[in-house]
Amino acid sequence: MKQTIISRDKISSGSWLELLNIKWRDAKGRHRTWEAAARTQGRGAVMIIAVIKQTDEIILVKQFRPPAGRILVELPAGLIDDGEPPEVTAERELLEETGYHGSVVCVSPPGFSSAGISGETITTVTMEIDAENFNGKIPESSQEDSEDIETVLIKRCNLRTYLKDEFSKGNGIDAKLWSYAAAL
């Protein structure tokens, strides 16, 4: 028997998230329930692997994340607006969060990062940054008023050491970034 969603009932909703009670039938025909979170807007998210080609530095961001209760080290990311291709979102978010702009090299299919709690998809967009456009300086960002994001440049060969150091300082590390570092 095939697993089937029977219903998705909203338990609660806020400005950005809603809590759902999902009723489904499992492969043995049993009726089950599952609680999940969903975004109220948008079509998923992008995360951006942006590398400065001349120096092989990756662009990271650090920001306070209230649900984690601490500063997190992350890849730049953002929500995809309705009707917007992921690569356009990536270009917009990288510029907004860090001031950098570059060329899209690769766009992954959407994937799931925490499917036990949310059906949100994340598309990975890889970008190449030409350092000559920035004269060796971190450019000015155009963050929204609610954002307080620090841009960090780290050589990819030093990424794992940097992440371990940040963790030892009490900062959190986004799991997707840990995975990227492990794969290097």
Q: What is the pLDDT of residues 34-43, one digit of tens each?
A: 999 998 887 7
Helices (H) and strands (E) in the chain, counts: 3, 12
Note the pTM of the prediction, 2 decimals.
Answer: 0.90
How much of the chain, in percent, has pLDDT values that exceed 90?
Answer: 84
The reported pLDDT for the residue numbered 2 is: 93
98's enclosing H/E stretch is helix 86-98
Averaged pLDDT, 57-76: 97
Residue 20 β-bridge partners: 10, 36
The reported pLDDT for the residue numbered 131 is: 84
The reported pLDDT for the residue numbered 44 is: 92
What integer best gives the mean pLDDT of the chain? 93
Rounded CA gap, 124 and 90, in Å?
Answer: 9
Give residue-wise pLDDT tens across range 134-181. Answer: 777 777 777 777 778 899 999 999 999 999 999 999 999 999 999 999
Domain(s) labelled CATH 3.90.79.10 in the chain stretch across 45-183
Q: Which CATH superfamily is domain 45-183 in?
A: Nucleoside Triphosphate Pyrophosphohydrolase (3.90.79.10)
Averaged pLDDT, 59-81: 96
C-alpha closest to that of 60 among 80, 44, 46, 76: 76
Cα four-point dihedral sign 21, 24, 28, 29? positive
Please tell me which residue, 147 or 44, carries the higher pLDDT value: 44
Rounded CA gap, 111 and 44, in Å?
Answer: 10
Exposed/middle/buried for residue 50 (C-beta within 10 Å: 0-12, 13-18, 19+): buried
Does 84 have pLDDT greater than 90?
yes
Rounded CA gap, 54 and 74, in Å?
Answer: 22
Rounded CA gap, 132 and 2, in Å?
Answer: 55
